[in-house]
Chains A and B, each alone.
Chain A
Amino acid sequence: MEIANITINGQPVSAQVGSTILQAARQAGIDIPTLCDHPALIPIGACRICLVEVTGQRTLITACTFPITEGMVVQTESPQVVMARKLILDLLFSERNHFCPFCEASGNCELQNLGYRYGVDHWLYSTFTKAFPIDATHKHLFMEHNRCILCGRCERACGEIVANHTLGLRNRGNASMIHCDASLPWGESTCISCGTCLQVCPTGAISDKRSAFMGRDVQTESTKTTCNRCSIGCGMEVVTRAGNVLRIKSDWDAEVNGGRLCEYGRFDPLYDPRDRITSPLLRRKGRLEPVSWDEALQSVADRVGAAQGQEIGVLTSSNSTNEALYLLNKLFCQELGAKNVGLLNSVAPKLFDQPRGSLADIVAGDVIMVVGTDPVKDQPVASFFVKRSVDKGARLIVVDDGENGLAPFAYMNLRIADIGRAIEIAHRAAQPIVLYGVGASEAAVKSLKALQGKARFVTLEPGVNTFAAVTFGFNNGFKPSAAKVLYASLGEQDWSGGDMLKAVDKGAFVVVQASFASPLTEKADVVLPTAIWSERAGSLTNTEGRVQKVNKAVEPRGGAKPDWEILSLLAEKLGRKLGASLDEIAALAVQEIKYKENQR
């Protein structure tokens, strides 16, 4: 790594050759204002607000694009620089509508902040009166073009980060504006509602309908956590105000997703229409009645404690924390001898005994095979990585029998039976990547083994915490008819019971641990209300086998409790000591996941 030594504002600064002036300054803690630049995007030098003076250069230059060279002398706030920045701000404020008091972004706006910083307290030029239409056709977002400064961050994010290319810049001069596809209404465009454009927009031009006008950053709190909508486990920040979740942002620093989220993670949790269960319920004389936790747990303990191991059936959703899965296994399987356990979703076939490939590998591939899995539908952020690779020239081969959301981006679409052709191509590639999931047949799995040592394999598990569920043994065929006592830990998952429940003995005692009312909770003998994603702490293991923390952003609704806590209280009622605090249980759970992974 070659280092260049430069001087910024008289201060010596050393940074890697090839860094921009902006990067070098930031590393040294020197602030240069920016608007069109964003750390996650390729710089384009469009807005000119980052202008700095460099000794020996004829004009001011843009710090966000200009690379440093040995001995460079930079001034970031010289009178000439400040004058130029003020002019740019005057022009930006004059163009379109920047009357801040009426703007959703006021208080959180990068343009407004710069206005304060450089003392822009009046309009130098008459303000612009060409009105642009507002596009509110999108189900989650609206675009107020009159607040747009044409920095292009949204457009570049849509292309570079999400590889969706919905947004573009059209026309020129004072008619320029952001458009979707070819001037389609946003709601009818190819937009996949990932919200990345929302997250990068520096002004009030893009807002989300759910949380707009509900609070500035200073009035809110933010909690980092992990998404529980699929097995990718994206890092995110939950923004809350007075105990309510306002919005969800992606975590730029998260290793797995680095600023990406999909609609499932960013928007769906804010619009959950289902009815919450807020109190423990116990069936008395045929009716479910609210009771205390103590009473509900006691009745469960009585029935479970009296049952033989082989009479106990346990079903779990993969939407459970590592801690809950650990306790379910410890309490029911190891302490009480239950063997009849099952998972509510299918599991990807096992290819090799070694640890799994990482999602970051996807962008390193020149040939990407997607076998029996549709990340567009099931793990959207993984599909962003695939599409980004295709943009950069990787060849995508989709091997799947059903419809596949990646098919339009593939240069070859094959049926599973024809996987051999894809394998031949992968053999000739420099770095083939294989993404595979439940749809990979036994024969396909067998032929994929030919690529061992050559390709990197990335498993895309269905469900959420499927990795940990399998680790704790929740995958062998559950036999409903054998259960005299059924403990179903649904969490947030919708599960009506289907045919499986019909096969359960009429006289069986059914305990449902769930967040939402469903046909199954109606039939239960005991219902234990479970905290949802925003209300619980613990950890989840993603499809790579990476253990990630989930944190509590708001208090559980009513009397609901986190999944692991319910099980820990039940264990106590049964006189089993399985760990007293979350930290203790978490440590035990994670240790076991790691141990079992090494055993594979």
Chain B
Amino acid sequence: MKLEDVDLLKEFTSEQIAKLDEIISKHRGKPGGLIPVLEEAQVSLEYLPIGIQKRIAKGLNLPLSRVYGVVTFYSFFTMTPRGKHTVRVCLGTACYVRGGKAIAEKLEKEFGIKEGETTPDRMFTLETVRCLGACGLGPVVIIDEDVHGRIKPGKVREILSQYN
């Protein structure tokens, strides 16, 4: 097995890699094949780290710099994995003055990651937003579809425990 495959297998299953190769070969040699390949790869692998981009570049006979350019251009593509749950802390004006910042810091500490990152166990992705239109409830945290209002840093752990 090639070294690059060994690296990829740390993050993906061999079925996923086989699927990727299938996607690539379906579009190989067709003009404009890059975006459909990236799209299908994103759906089936959930994220496109450099190792995957290299494999796509090689498979489609394109420069890595071009593949990377397209991946970073469209926000649909991500290079890091997303967690099972997305946690969005509001840092809009109303939430901010009511302590949103402290909530964000508490979450970062709790997860051991920075905003925009995902926990190593891939349970949570932490993001910040500017105003969710629920200012009366500030500070607001949204986890997946659930709105949690009037949160205090001390309550954060309890809320998170509902998600696993």
A residues sitting closer than 8 Å to B (CB atoms) are 155, 159, 165-172, 179-183
B112 CB–A CB distance under 8 Å: no
Partner of B73, one of A172, A181, A182, A183: A172
From the candidates B53, B54, B63, B72, name the one contacting A165 in the complex (CB within 8 A).
B63
| Contact indicator A168/B65 (Cβ below 8 Å) | yes
Is A159 touching B63 in the complex (CB atoms < 8 A)?
yes
Nearest CB of chain B from residue A158's CB, rounded to whole Å: 8
Residues of chain B lying within 8 A (CB to CB) of residue A171:
72-73
For A167, the closest partner residue in chain B by CB is: B65
Known: A168-B66, A172-B72, A181-B64; 11 extra A-B contacts, CB below 8 A, are A155-B65, A165-B63, A165-B64, A165-B66, A168-B65, A171-B72, A179-B68, A180-B65, A182-B54, A182-B68, A183-B68
Interface residues, chain B, with chain A CB atoms under 8 Å away = 50, 53-54, 63-69, 72-73
Chain B residue with Cβ nearest A163: B63
List B contacts of A170 (CB < 8 A). Answer: 68-69, 72-73
The verdict on A168 contacting B53 (CB below 8 Å), with A179-B68, A181-B68, A182-B68 known, is no
Contact assessment for B65 and A181 in the assembled complex, using a CB-CB cutoff below 8 Å: yes
- B73 near A166 with CB under 8 A, answer no
Complex CA distance for A159 and B69, rounded to whole angstroms: 14
Which residues of chain B have C-beta atoms less than 8 A from A155's C-beta?
A: 65
CB distance from A46 to the nearest CB of B (A): 14
In Å, the complex CA distance between A159 and B66 comes to 10
Q: Which residues of A contact B69 (CB under 8 A)?
A: 168-170, 179
In terms of DSSP, what is the predominant structure of the interface of chain B? Answer: helix
Separation of A172 and B73 alpha carbons in the complex (Å): 5
**Closest approach, in angstroms, between the C-beta of A167 and any C-beta of chain B?**
6
Contacts of B64 in A (CB 8 A): 165, 181-182
Q: A368 vs B67: C-alpha distance in the bound complex, in angstroms?
A: 27
Instruction: Name the A residues within 8 Å of B54 (CB-CB).
Output: 182
What CA separation (Å) do A180 and B60 show in the bound complex?
A: 19
Report the minimum CB–CB distance from B70 to chain A (whole Å).
9
Nearest CB in chain A to that of B73: its residue: A172
Contact present for B65 and A165 (CB under 8 Å): yes
| Min C-beta distance of A360 to chain B, whole Å | 25
Closest residue on chain B to residue A411 by CB atoms:
B61
Question: B residues within 8 A CB of A166?
Answer: 65
Q: How far is the CB of A159 from chain B (nearest CB, A)?
A: 7
Q: Name which residue of chain A comes closest to B69, CB basis.
A: A168
Q: Which 8 A-B residue pairings sit nearest by Cβ, starting from the closest?
A: A168-B65, A165-B63, A182-B68, A168-B69, A170-B72, A171-B72, A172-B73, A182-B50
Using CB atoms, name the residue of chain B closest to A173. B73
Q: How far is the CA of A69 from the CA of B72 in the complex (A)?
A: 39
Kindly provide the distance from the CB of A235 to the nearest chain B CB, expressed in whole angstroms. 28
Residue pairs across A and B with Cβ atoms less than 8 A apart, 23 shown, are: A159-B63, A165-B63, A165-B64, A165-B66, A166-B65, A167-B65, A168-B63, A168-B66, A169-B69, A170-B68, A170-B69, A170-B72, A170-B73, A172-B72, A172-B73, A179-B69, A181-B64, A181-B68, A182-B50, A182-B53, A182-B64, A182-B67, A183-B68
